[in-house]
Amino acid sequence: MTHYVGFDIGGTSVKYGLVNEAGEILEKGSFVTTPDDGELMIANMAKQVKTYQEKQDILSVGVSVPGIVRKDGYMVTAGAITAFFDINLKEVCEAAFQLPVVVQNDANCAAIAEQWIGNAQGVSDYIVIALGTAVGCGIIINDAVYQGAHGAAGEIGWTMQQPLDYSQDLEAGSWNFTSGVVLGLYNRYQQATGKEVTDARVILDLVRKGDAQASKVMDRYYEDVAKGLLNLVCAFDPEVILLGGGISTNDEFLGHLSERIDKIKQHHKSLNHLTGVTVADIKPCLLRNDAGLIGAVYQAKQIIA
């Protein structure tokens, strides 16, 4: 059986894994992201590739990364990874790994993985939303990733959600800063309480205990995420919207989010009259936190085939 290495570069950690041709992760691990030190991240990635090469014959490497990625692997933007702005990450990685490399946007990778072996099998038109540091989006239309005219399609996190205040950067009111788990949920909780939090389960636990400030922050978060998802339903009419990111693995979060989506639809005349667009069409990714890594490997398989 052939083997590949996958990387999923996030705002806080870089996940890596040894993956076979069936999409099974045989080994995996992670190391801390250094957003302003790209050389260190590439060196750490190369170390993992070498480690796996000592165990298996590696054919190629797939890299999932936030931001706008052109087809040739050039990074226009890279989310919170400032060191990867305006570089050809494919070329850099190939030089470091001495292997063929494919680089793709993280949400697109997650979307591809879900159609390969996840909850989008047999689905031709769907959207994957990754609730992470910010909000990622992968759009699949007619079984193909929709990248737009300049590779920038899916930057749904940039959409403006709040009233426009021209005295500041308008991106501060974007979906990234209302519905990203770090930029939105954690940041709002810290603003409200002065306390830093790095795990959504902490806030959810406080809500269960009746904490007023946590409840207010979480209620706002449910509303912002729900509005954004329903906006996508209006724009693309997907068969399914799949949610990724760590918070999507929490059944309590998904239950309350579904309730909020249903509430908004009931109070929106046109949405409430649509048929076939139900809460059940918005569900978690099957592959969850492994989706980006697996999707990157799927594309690494294609450049060898």
Dist CA 230 CA 262 (whole Å)? 10
Location of each CATH 3.30.420.40 domain in the chain: 3-105+289-303, 119-285
pLDDT value of position 11: 83
- How confident is the model at residue 280, as a pLDDT? 46
State residue 219's pLDDT score. 98
Q: Mean pLDDT, 10 residues at a time, over the chain (305 residues)?
A: 94 94 97 97 98 97 94 92 97 98 94 96 95 92 92 92 91 95 96 96 97 98 96 91 90 94 90 62 88 95 85
What is 119-285's CATH superfamily? ATPase, nucleotide binding domain (3.30.420.40)
- Residue 275's pLDDT is what? 59
Task: For the domain covering 3-105+289-303, report its CATH number.
Answer: 3.30.420.40
CA dist 144 and 134 (Å) reads 24
- Its pTM stands at 0.88
**Among candidate residues 197, 185, 282, 164, the one with its CA nearest the CA of residue 231:** 282
